């Protein structure tokens, strides 16, 4: 299927990154959110990230202006279905994703491919909430979307070959690399990454090291670009906790139990960078460890 028009549902950090890369790759993009403020913030963020790419010489000012022109915004789901591809990128809670998919379904064109950017939830289960399990797939981008090379492609039990091939083609056009994963909790990246982050929080809880010691150990000792606690703040602690719960519930092994300190931070609404406090305090110019 030749994909030209795309809708992105949810204008948070993943949604705005996805809209950014599609618009830059010449797709027409409709960006949806229930909040007008969220849409305005997303456009500001996309503008800033495109400007950063211009200043690094990665794209031209003309590319930037073209990308911005190709993005329109809406608060109405009804405006999002008459496209070739929809990418759902709302919050990582199954009840919220399922409700959005159900609300969207009556507005879709017959041929529209429907995808979810879920980082862990069963694709087969989400597909069952729509009228098109055969044209439904997991389409999982990494954060920050404009920088990260990988996209995970996850077929549900009913996904047809045409849908998979169409998305492979889209990934190539975005100049990214696809990895195919089976539909199991956390897929590949989060099955491996989240238990590492969760273990770092246990190491902090048990006093094995401070925030700084744990992060610099993994940065300098394992050559990770960010320490695990810094990365957790970057991803969002609510998202990390939601993914650990999906692993724990879906795989039934106690090794996936979320660390109680991670739960405590989320209960306190210390969600990382987006709330300006997590394992670091982001209220000043330089992030300061909180433990
Ligand atoms: N948009 C566009 N460009 C961006 C950007 C953004 N949002 N953020 C960073 N960049 C660009 C910078 O302009 C810079 O470009 P050049 O290479 O051309 O100079 C480059 O990215 C590096 O950025 P910085 O120099 O500002 O900072 P850095 O070197 O510290 O790198 C980072 C920042 C790329 C985020 C790096 O720290 C990193 O790779 N961190 C790990 C990120 C990661 O693991 N992501 C996956 C999270 S897991 C996930 O997303 C899955 C899930 O489901 C939870």
Domains of the chain are 5-181 (3.40.50.720), 191-289 (1.10.1040.10)
Distance (Å, whole) CA 152 – CA 27: 20
Share of the chain above pLDDT 70, in %: 100
C-beta of residue 3 within 8 angstroms of C-beta of residue 166: yes
Average pLDDT over residues 51-55: 98
| Residue 285 confidence (pLDDT) above 90 | yes
What would the pLDDT profile of 5-17 be if each residue is shown by its tens digit? 999 999 999 999 9
Output the pLDDT for position 10.
Answer: 98
Q: What is the pLDDT confidence band of residue 226, given thresholds at 50, 70 and 90?
A: very high
Strand partners, 115: 87, 137
Strand partners, 7: 30, 86
Output the pLDDT for position 126.
Answer: 98
Mean pLDDT of the chain: 97
Of the residues 15, 63, 144, 154, which should be mutated to test ligand 1's pocket, given the most ligand atoms within 8 Å of the CB? 144
Does residue 224 carry a catalytic annotation? no
| Residue 142 confidence (pLDDT) above 90 | yes
Q: What is the pLDDT confidence band of residue 1, given thresholds at 50, 70 and 90?
A: confident
* Active-site residue (options: 49, 190, 198, 245): 190
C-beta of residue 206 within 8 angstroms of C-beta of residue 163: no
Does residue 55 carry a catalytic annotation? no
Nearest alpha carbon, ligand 1 atom 51 = 142
Distance (Å, whole) CA 172 – CA 178: 8
Output the pLDDT for position 31.
Answer: 98
C-beta of residue 272 within 8 angstroms of C-beta of residue 236: yes
Average pLDDT over residues 203-220: 98
Q: Is the CB of 49 under 6 A from ligand 1?
A: yes
| Residue 250 confidence (pLDDT) above 90 | yes
Which run of H or of E encompasses 261? helix 260-267
pTM flag (> 0.85) = yes
Phi, psi of 251 (to 5 degrees): -105, -20
Does residue 152 carry a catalytic annotation? yes
Output the pLDDT for position 198.
Answer: 98
Average pLDDT over residues 133-143: 98
Average pLDDT over residues 44-57: 98
Average pLDDT over residues 239-265: 97
Average pLDDT over residues 123-148: 97
Ligand 1 centroid to 148 CA: how many Å? 7
Q: Is the CB of 245 under 6 A from ligand 1?
A: no
Distance (Å, whole) CA 221 – CA 217: 5
What would the pLDDT profile of 230-241 be if each residue is shown by its tens digit? 999 999 999 999
Please report, to the nearest 10 degrees, the dihedral formed by the alpha carbons of residues 260, 263, 267, 271 taken in order: 130
């Amino acid at each position: 299927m030749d994909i030209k028009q795309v809708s992105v549902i949810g204008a948070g950090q993943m949604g705005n990154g996805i809209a950014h890369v599609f618009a830059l790759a010449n797709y027409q993009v409709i960006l949806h959110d229930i909040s007008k403020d969220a849409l305005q913030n997303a456009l500001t963020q996309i503008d800033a990230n495109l400007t950063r790419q211009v200043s690094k010489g990665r794209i031209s000012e003309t590319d930037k202006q073209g990308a911005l022109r190709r993005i329109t915004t809406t608060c109405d789901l009804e405006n999002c279905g008459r496209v070739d591809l929809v990418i759902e990128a709302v919050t990582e809670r199954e009840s919220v994703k399922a409700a959005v998919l159900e609300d969207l379904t009556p507005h879709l064109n017959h041929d529209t491919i429907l995808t979810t950017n879920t980082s862990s939830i069963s694709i087969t289960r989400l597909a069952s909430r729509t009228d098109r399990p055969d044209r439904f797939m997991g389409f999982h981008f990494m954060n920050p979307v404009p920088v990260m090379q990988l996209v995970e492609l996850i077929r549900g039990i009913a996904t047809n070959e045409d849908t998979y091939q169409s998305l492979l083609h889209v990934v190539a056009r975005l100049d990214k690399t696809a990895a195919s994963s089976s539909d199991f909790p956390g897929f590949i990246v989060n099955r491996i990454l989240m238990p590492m982050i969760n273990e770092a929080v246990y190491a902090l809880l048990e006093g094995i090291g401070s925030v700084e010691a744990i992060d610099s150990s993994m940065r300098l000792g394992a050559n990770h670009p960010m320490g695990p606690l810094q990365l957790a703040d970057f991803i969002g602690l609510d998202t990390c906790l939601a993914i650990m719960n999906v692993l724990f519930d879906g795989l039934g092994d106690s090794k996936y139990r979320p660390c109680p300190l991670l739960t405590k931070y989320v209960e306190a609404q210390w969600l990382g960078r987006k709330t300006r406090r997590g394992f670091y305090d982001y209220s000043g110019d330089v992030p300061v460890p909180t433990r």
